[in-house]
Structure 1
Amino acid sequence: MFVNFRILALRFIAVLPSLFGLGNASMGASRHSRQPVDIDSGLGPLLSKSASISHSSSAAPRWSDFDAPKPGTVVNVSTEKDVVETVKYCVAHGITFLAQSGAHGWATTFRIGQRDVTINLRGLNSVTFNNEAQPTLTVGGGSIISEVIAVADANGAHVPTGNCNCVGTLGAILGGGVGHLMGLYGLGVDNLVTLNLVNAEGQLVTVDATQDPDLWWAVRGAGPNFGIVTSATLKAYPRADRSVWTGSLIFTEDKIEQIVSTINGLELLAPMSIFLYFATSGAPDYTPTVIVAPFYAGSTADAEAAFASILDIGPVANSMQRYPYTQANFANDALCGKGGRKPSYGSGLSQMVPATWRSIWNEYVEYVKNPAVGNSSVFVECYSFETAKKVPDSSSSYPFRSTVKYTTLVNNWYTDASLDPVAEAFGTKVRDLWRSTDGLAQNSTYVFLEFAFGDEPLGTVYGENVVKLQDLKRKYDPRGRFDQWFPLT
């Protein structure tokens, strides 16, 4: 079958997999919701003029429709006080609630139905640059990554974020926060300076390293279980040349073992990251394709030298080039559309084994013979942990900075609900293959970039921090009001 590799390479200029991240903290109030007769008249007068209440089923669309929350009411907030009033109202009336911004969470732990409320944070999208000795950005809880990058770039700075423009900035950070620039600046949680959080009593509190250090530790890695973050201040890093070298390399499938072995042995320097994924050429042929997507924050010469071992394998197509910082994620924009069924399965690895990836390729090729699932992909993200490992594991509740080297995902994508069992079987099979040679003492899933499905035990999600987090959960949220995202109760 003929494949136009040049067109295919352009389709995958930047990394498919890095598009995922959280919307924002996902929260709940009570396991026994009872919707009041008229929430509009009860809550509406307490909200700001720019806020609104909707009862449309499409008012809070999510990135994946698979097992998605289906709230009967959506409160579109525009101020932090709106969030306070909404949480207080829900608590007073025993209403379960869920906060979202980018709405990319696909976990199957959500329990939101027609009697429940989604708090749409998207209106809290302000981003302010603070030009201080250590520059910072103050970011609203509903801001998305493209908005934050635009402000940082306009002020001559980098800011560590996730890698997809449409994802909620703070949601991705609260679970750890990996991204292309983490080799230079560390994890997202390491770059939080302070945050505003609506707690289980509906109070707006400021949290940082000196004001309630226990809560500060907990939210930086398990944030959705402790409150709704309405704004946060992040470190920014002045940088004269903010352009990046990225794109895609297309390889024939006989190179899989060599690619995997080379990536596993590659020294990822601070400016580097690299992804490997199995995807298809798309309609009409859906030809399975091997794609490698390097990333380098630096000069082309330095980038090509750093990735020489990958380039020497011999791609059949090469679309690598330099882009301005504001366009580093643009190729993922086509994948930001809401809807479709996308049950996804992830795992953490400390090593990549060529034979395992060959088995996964064989499974993938068989799976996408059905064109209805032809937009599905399988991938691994490989980042430099050089700076992240300078910070102690004990500094935050994110548990895997010293153990997980690679994060993987099966990203199913289709529209026909009758294919759910097939997709789930495929996702489980591939996850089992990864786990069989992951090199870890226990299965580890970087859940807050949404790489967990929802069936994992808490130890897989939170590592060895489960007991401490549960103790703090009893302290800060004894009634389990924030219990939607891999709940600790």
Structure 2
Amino acid sequence: MAFLRLLVLVVFACLCQAALTAAQVLQKLQAELKPKLSVGASISFNDADANRWSWYAAPDPAVIVNVKSEIDVQLTVAFCSTFGIPFLAQNGGTGWSTTFKMNNNGVIINMAGLNQVTFNAEKTQATIGGGVSINSTIQAADAAGALVLTGNCNCVGTLGAYLGGGYGNLMGLKGMGVDQIISARLVTADGKIQTVTASDPDLFWAIRGAGPNMGIVTSAVVKSTPASAADRSAWTGALIFSPDKLEQIVQAIGNLHLKPEMNIFMYFISSGAPANTPVVLLTPYLYKGDAAAGKVAFASLYAIGPIQDATAVVPYTEWNTGADGFCTRGGRKPSFSAGFQTMEPSAWRQIWDKYVVFQKKPGAENSVVLLEAYSLDKARSIPSSSTSFPHRGVNFNAVAIPWYYDASYDTEAINFGKAARDLWRSNDGLTKDAVYINFANGDDELSVVYGDSLSRLRTIKKQVDPKDRFNQWFNIPV
């Protein structure tokens, strides 16, 4: 480790010369940075869109550095910081924020090569690399005979979801993703690496809710639970309803008491080719449940009368597979989200009507509206002041995602998304607007994203990143 630190300092010193233009720096990247990177690391040019979930407002870098080690991240950050080149760490490439401003001369640090997941002997802790996807985390945990809280979309980066808050199937039992982090390895803007724990209360607080503003997390130690095969099962799947049942469904979800082992998703979604008729799809989830228990737990929804029931007992590795179509890369997907307290049937009917109009456009059949609802008692039993995540008091999160390929639809897509968001917020039951950062569009005020944590985050940001190098993800300017 002493040698590696010396190497970083030597490289950093060699790069610290008279200011260069962006074009000169990018040329030097291949000449001076690449030889210092790990075996297997590489530098590629202008192919960021190939791996993006959404092309809408996607980052437009000049260079992608595909790292293979923590030191590669450290070297790349040092290089970019030296020459004032914008940079962004990317894992799943699923972030849809419009805040990326790389001006075709920035660097994406592709974290996918940091893809290791390991467990301690007791299986009470997992160490997850900064390039590990949710699917890979689940597969590794299942092979180890353990459970780890993750998000519900397999293609998203595990730690990226954690750092913004981290909702997931097991949160009724375990709390949020931010509550699982025991320690994190962080590359800061000065090119240093540190292990952040509760012994550094300000920075540990800040990264758990606003992590990308403070540095790049190359790995984290998180809580894990030993689990038998029976413990690694759940009852879930699709319940499909005709649209005329929407008001009843919304009311039932609003009245549903979610126990710790339960959650429920609602989608406005296409029924599939060739007709692509829009339907209302629910995904109930009951940990360690079966069909009989599921029908009891979600009796109010079954009473409405689904036209199709595709629920079943599935293993841990298949909990998220129903949403795998959502991971399809490419297309334009400007997305608009809001948090709210109550389910208002009339607002949802208006959103449905607007959704149907847009979804019928040629090439827009995969557009979707998503609602997520979880048992929150466990998350709220943890002091809100323990992490910078600000919205533990929010009951529901929803997002409208117009999905299309023709850029001429942009104005209509934005109008639809904003209209849906406005309808949620007009009935949100909150004292002030709130949005989950991992769902936010990018046009939201920082106070809506960071809530009451914003002031303290500004203070910590000034200490950790005084030159505001980490400025791509809902930036907290110094």
TM-score by length of 1: 0.90
Alignment match of 1:356 (pick from 322, 344, 347): 347
1:182 aligns with 2:171: yes
Q: State how 1:44-443 maps to structure 2 within 5 Å.
A: 44-58=34-48, 61-132=51-122, 135-210=124-199, 212-240=200-228, 241-300=231-290, 301-401=292-392, 403-443=393-433
Distance 1:292 1:59 in 2: 32
Q: Where is the helix percentage greater, Structure 1 or Structure 2?
A: 2
**CA contact under 8 A between 2:50 and 2:330: conserved in structure 1?**
no
| Matched residue, 1:467 | 455
**CA contact under 8 A between 2:48 and 2:60: conserved in structure 1?**
no
Cα distance change, pair 356–34 in 1 and its aligned pair in 2 (3 A): farther
Root-mean-square deviation over aligned CA pairs: 1.6
Cα distance change, pair 59–109 in 1 and its aligned pair in 2 (3 A): closer
Give secondary structure in 2 for the equivalent of 1:425.
helix
Q: Which amino acid aligns with 1:360?
A: I
Distance 1:43 1:396 in 2: 36
**Once structures 1 and 2 are overlaid, which stretch shifts more, 332-341 or 424-433?**
332-341
**CA contact under 8 A between 1:59 and 1:74: conserved in structure 2?**
no
Q: Which amino acid aligns with 2:104?
A: Q
| Matched residue, 1:22 | none
Cα distance change, pair 366–59 in 1 and its aligned pair in 2 (3 A): closer
Aligned-pair CA distance for 1:335: 2.7
Aligned-pair CA distance for 1:112: 1.4
Q: Which amino acid aligns with 2:350?
A: S
Cα distance change, pair 193–432 in 1 and its aligned pair in 2 (3 A): same
**CA contact under 8 A between 1:152 and 1:159: conserved in structure 2?**
yes
Aligned-pair CA distance for 1:38: 2.6
State the Cα deviation string for residues 34-61 of structure 1 (Å, max 9, x = none): 7343310110121111111111425862
Give secondary structure in 2 for the equivalent of 1:289.
strand
Give secondary structure in 1 for the equivalent of 2:161.
helix
Equivalences, count: 455
**CA contact under 8 A between 1:75 and 1:119: conserved in structure 2?**
yes
Distance 1:58 1:387 in 2: 39
**CA contact under 8 A between 1:340 and 1:413: conserved in structure 2?**
yes
State the Cα deviation string for residues 432-467 of structure 1 (Å, max 9, x = none): 11111011111100012xx11111100110011111
**CA contact under 8 A between 2:55 and 2:330: conserved in structure 1?**
yes
Distance 1:34 1:392 in 2: 49
Cα distance change, pair 58–68 in 1 and its aligned pair in 2 (3 A): closer
Distance 2:92 2:255 in 1: 35
Give secondary structure in 1 for the equivalent of 2:178.
helix
**CA contact under 8 A between 1:73 and 1:117: conserved in structure 2?**
yes
Give secondary structure in 2 for the equivalent of 1:154.
helix
Aligned-pair CA distance for 1:236: 0.6
* Identity %, equivalent residues: 49
**CA contact under 8 A between 1:34 and 1:94: conserved in structure 2?**
no
Note the residue ranges of structure 1 that are not aligned, 5 or more in a row: 1-30
Aligned-pair CA distance for 1:365: 1.8
Cα distance change, pair 33–112 in 1 and its aligned pair in 2 (3 A): farther
TM-score by length of 2: 0.92
State the Cα deviation string for residues 113-158 of structure 1 (Å, max 9, x = none): 32111000000000001123x7111000000011111111122221
**Greater relative contact order, per chain length (Cα 8 Å cut-off, separation 6+):** 1
Give secondary structure in 2 for the equivalent of 1:387.
helix
Give secondary structure in 2 for the equivalent of 1:295.
strand
